[in-house]
Amino acid sequence: MPSYLHTCYRIGDIDRSVAFYEKLGFQEVARMPIGDEAVNVFMGLPGEDPRLELTYNHGVDSYELGTGYNHIAIAVDDIEETLDTLGAEGIEPEKPPYRPGGRTEGPLICFVRDPDGYRIELIGVGG
């Protein structure tokens, strides 16, 4: 039976990216050097296997993101509280929380961007 293992992003600065994802609740689980060319940093949410792999290629500080990839999604208990906490760290949403498709019920969502420009969807599941 197949199972989902992880998503991998190429990043330009390990410390900057790890600090960002820690603000979203991730924890660094492991680092694995890939010869002299790269380092993989595995990040996971508490109680879960690491599902985010951040790959730093030595000497490369930025990448073109392209138009095919969109985002990963993270469930948060209280979207407003999460945005307040992130805002205090200088992380602002693309736009205020909203319900997709003009719905009047259901969870609020919003997007933030990591230091390399990758989009993260925050989905309020509580509160």
CATH number of the CATH domain containing 26: 3.10.180.10
- Alpha carbon distance 43, 101 (integer Å): 32
66 found inside a domain: yes
Residues 61-78 as b or e (16 or more Cβ within 10 Å = b): eeeeeeeeeeeeebebee
pLDDT in tens, the chain (127 residues): 777 889 999 999 999 999 999 999 999 999 999 999 999 999 999 999 999 999 999 999 999 988 888 999 999 999 999 999 999 999 999 999 999 988 889 999 999 999 999 999 999 998 5
Quick check: 44 and 26 in contact, CB under 8 A? yes
Active site (annotated) includes residue 64 = no
39 found inside a domain: yes
Total domains in the chain come to 1
Closest CA to 19 of 100, 89, 80, 96: 89
61 found inside a domain: yes
92 found inside a domain: yes
Encoded amino acid at 46, one letter: P
The pLDDT tens digits of the residues spanning 34-57 come to: 999 999 999 999 999 999 999 999
60 found inside a domain: yes
25 found inside a domain: yes
1 found inside a domain: no
Give the active site residue among 37, 48, 89, 121. Answer: 121
Range of the domain at 107: 7-124
